Amino acid sequence: MERHVESCYLDIKSNSRSHHTDLYGEECLIVRRGQPFNIILHLKPGNGDRLLTFTCISVSKGPLPQEESDTKVSFGIRESTLDTEWSASATNDPSRNTISVTINSSPNAPIGLYSLTLDQEGQNISLGQFILLFNAWCPRDAVYMRSETKRQEYVLARHGQIYRGTYKRINGTPWNFGQFDKGVLDICLMILDSNPKFVSDASKDSSSRRSPIYVTRVLSAMVGVSVGPLWAPVSGMCGQRLLRYTRKPSEGSFIFYCWESAVVMTCGSPPVARALGIPCRVVTNFESAHDADASLMIENVYDQDGKRISQGDSVWNFHVWVESWMTRPDLDSDFDGWQVSDPTPQETSEGVFCCGPAPVLAIHEGELTKKYDAPFIFAEVNADVVDMVRLPNGQLVKFGGSTKSVGRFISTKAVGSDDRRDITHQYKYPEGSKEERQVYKKAKHHNKLRQREEEPGLRLKIKLAKNMTEGSDFEVFAVLTNNGMEAKTCMFLFFATAVGYNGRAGEHCGYASDKVEVPSGEACSSRRLSLKLEYEHYGSVIPSDRLIQLSAITFNKQAVEYYKAEKTIVLDEPEIEIKLLGEAQVNQALTVELTLLNPLPEALQDCSFTMDGVGLTDGKPITRKYANSITTEAKASIEFSPSSVGSTMLLVNFNSDKLKRIKSFINVVIKE
């Protein structure tokens, strides 16, 4: 008689180590597709000599497993496993009490939660469950990445940098992605199961999850659009906490900043890409265009007083998206590699708010017929800007613009370090080069090279102060130079406006005007209009990004001449001094001293330091709040015990009623 299975040992620890999934913990077997894993079958005691011969093993996933959709697969025991499909082999233990079974999943299998069963004499015996992920280590997988260093960076790295500010003042923000935190992978799978395609056809959606293209597109729609009317009340230090807000829709949903959505999709929540096994990275595009009418041009229309009256196109100081690594079997193989997806979709795509994935190479070469949403992404990095004034009779007069201002210092974190890497060259040829213009034409951009017109007689520039720290008063200048042959008399306006990172204007915080006569260029003369920015006026209106937009306008209504210059400045923020008192050792108490000097001419209320770090704070942030106001200096001493050996990052955040989101970090090496 044949002996039956009494229990199944999934050997989570050993399998996790070989599949690079040990950081998820040992509560569930998590493996990567296209790679074998081992289980051990314990047999019931008996006298039989036949050991599970002609056994059939089945794997199934989703609410309606079907062989037609590859969500249910049955396979027999072979002498050895196959690399190309689901297969299994078995070895009898000499004791004849256990059987070791090796299972190899298909490198093209849909990802997700699977049930594993054994068919013995017509009886289905449950062996347990496991989660199958994409596999960047498997050459047959669509997300295969050849470099181990890059796999460590783009799949397994738990820390990263997100770049913000302006292209002239780029600030790196450290981030704990948290993709391996407890419960996070479950949330990722829940997000996939919540998408409308799964609701309408669960079997088809589950089957389609074999493709990272499909999964990435679903994530773009779900992460970026399944939101409500409120801003997420989070510190931005740890991506996994952002994701957890999606678990309780009854308590309200949240709108993330674009960089927060990108982190969530990349891995900050981790799930949404790295946690599912897709290599990805966060990318920041400075001076990022939002082309609302698909013309591949940003058209700025102003009235005669310099006020913008168009509401469609815009240019954001920066915008953050995600690049995911995969093959594109739906396109030519030349377009394999990094693909752009935007988890903050701004326009609909095939009737749904999502964006991408589009090959970076397609953007670089102007191949806008390649899926998905290449025209919109192309405009983000390479649109032309046209400035026009609307006259009382409705006529539009072009008075400025640029073919070079959009898409600056496209940035991502470097592999293996905290340095910023400029990848602008991967998105476009050098601005102004012959190749860049040719690509622009091929992309059917509604652009003509600058029309051969006379050079304007006036030139307008904005010059900044050297030190622009939040809390201080400082001057900026608009400089008007006449390069023509005749003197010009015109109105000169200079004003400052608080602005959000997405280009949305807030309240004015400074204004100056004058009527000036500018001699001709032969006199080498210019006129300066100064604008003093005082904390008393800007302090209460600038957002937490500390951005101020400066706009200078000069016009001669009789001659219909208009000139404009704009510059966005980011105010310097105070630094947090982080000092470790002693050497970091595992399970040993360690004290950190935190210090921040108050740069403002007024006291700070509701002050707090919050610190967080993988392997440092036991998975929970530590906060120290102040009961009293802070006039000159905020200090805190915090004791904690590191819980794991290795390199990590200690992130510190300071908040108050007037200074918010002040961040810093130090790298920490924890020794045994």
Q: What is the crossing angle of helices 212-225 and 184-193, to 10°? A: 90
CATH of domain 458-570: 2.60.40.10
Q: Is 485 exposed, middle or buried (0-12, 13-18, 19+ CB in 10 A)?
A: exposed
What stretch of H or E contains 262?
helix 258-263
CA angle 527, 532, 538 (to 5 degrees): 140
Under a CB-based contact definition with an 8 Å cutoff, are residues 513 and 493 in contact? yes
What integer pLDDT is reported at residue 53 of this predicted model? 57
Q: What DSSP string describes 194-228? A: TSHHHHH-HHHHHHHTT-HHHHHHHHHHHHHHS--
Long-range Cβ contacts of 73-76 (<8 Å, 24+ apart): 73/106, 73/109, 74/119
Q: What is the crossing angle of helices 434-442 and 374-382, to 10°? A: 150
Each residue's pLDDT tens digit, 209-250? 999 999 999 988 887 544 332 222 233 444 445 454 444 433
Give the whole-angstrom CA distance, residue 271 versus residue 278.
10
Q: Which amino acids are annotated as binding site for Ca(2+), given as ranges?
A: 382, 384, 431, 436
Domain 148-246+253-443 coded CATH 3.90.260.10: yes
The average confidence (pLDDT) of the chain is 84
What integer pLDDT is reported at residue 37 of this predicted model? 97
Contacts of 111 (CB under 8 A, 6+ apart): 33, 132, 133, 134, 209, 210, 215, 276, 277
The Cβ of residue 300 has, within 10 Å, a number of other Cβ atoms equal to 19
Place of tokens 């397994």: 156
Q: Which amino acids are annotated as binding site, given as ranges?
A: 382, 384, 431, 436
- Residue ranges, the chain, pLDDT below 50: 225-240, 242, 244-271, 444-456, 522-523
Cα 456 versus chain centre, distance: 41
Place of tokens 């390199």: 647
Helices and strands: H and E segment counts in the chain: 13, 38
User: Which strands, in side-by-side order, build the sheet including 505-518?
Assistant: 505-518, 488-499, 547-556, 561-570
What integer pLDDT is reported at residue 457 of this predicted model? 64
What integer pLDDT is reported at residue 625 of this predicted model? 93
CATH of domain 576-670: 2.60.40.10
Under a CB-based contact definition with an 8 Å cutoff, are residues 30 and 24 in contact? yes
Residue type, 375: P
535: alpha, beta or left? (left if phi > 0; alpha if psi -120 to 50)? alpha
Domains 148-246+253-443 and 576-670 share a fold: no
Burial 569-608 (b: 16+ CB within 10 A, else e): bbbbbbebebeeeeebeeeeebebebebebbbeeebeebe
Q: Provide the residue count of the chain.
A: 672
Output the 3-class SS for 135-179.
CCCCCCCCCCCCCHHHHHHHHHCCEEEEEEEECCEEEEEEEECCC
Under a CB-based contact definition with an 8 Å cutoff, are residues 336 and 330 in contact? no
What integer pLDDT is reported at residue 50 of this predicted model? 53
Residue 342 appears among annotated catalytic residues: yes
Marked catalytic residue, from 19, 319, 364, 445:
319
The Cβ of residue 455 has, within 10 Å, a number of other Cβ atoms equal to 7
Q: Which of 378, 385, 386, 387 is nearest to 429 (CA)?
A: 378
Give the whole-angstrom CA distance, residue 418 versus residue 664.
13
Residue 355 appears among annotated catalytic residues: no
Q: Which of 213, 428, 424 is nearest to 331 (CA)?
A: 213
Task: Measure CA of the first residue to CA of the last residue in the chain; give whole Å.
Answer: 54
What integer pLDDT is reported at residue 155 of this predicted model? 95
Which superfamily does 5-133 belong to? Answer: Immunoglobulins (2.60.40.10)
Phi first, then psi: what are they for 133, rounded to 5°? -115, 165
Hey, what are 412's tokens? 């991502």
Under a CB-based contact definition with an 8 Å cutoff, are residues 38 and 89 in contact? no
Give the whole-angstrom CA distance, residue 314 versus residue 300.
8
Residue 319 appears among annotated catalytic residues: yes
Q: Identify the three-state secondary structure at position 300.
A: strand
Q: What is the dihedral of CA 366, 370, 373, 374, to 10 degrees?
A: -10
What integer pLDDT is reported at residue 236 of this predicted model? 41
Under a CB-based contact definition with an 8 Å cutoff, are residues 9 and 26 in contact? no
Sequence spans of domains, the chain: 5-133, 148-246+253-443, 458-570, 576-670
Give the whole-angstrom CA distance, residue 114 versus residue 135.
16
Each residue's pLDDT tens digit, 107-136? 999 999 999 999 877 788 899 999 999 999
Hey, what are 76's tokens? 């027999």
Give the whole-angstrom CA distance, residue 612 versus residue 236.
11
What integer pLDDT is reported at residue 463 of this predicted model? 92
Question: With the C-alpha atoms ordered 510, 515, 519, 520, is the resulting torsion angle positive or negative?
Answer: positive
Give the whole-angstrom CA distance, residue 64 versus residue 60.
9
Marked catalytic residue, from 138, 188, 238, 258:
258
Marked catalytic residue, from 141, 291, 342, 373:
342
Under a CB-based contact definition with an 8 Å cutoff, are residues 382 and 407 in contact? yes
What integer pLDDT is reported at residue 291 of this predicted model? 84
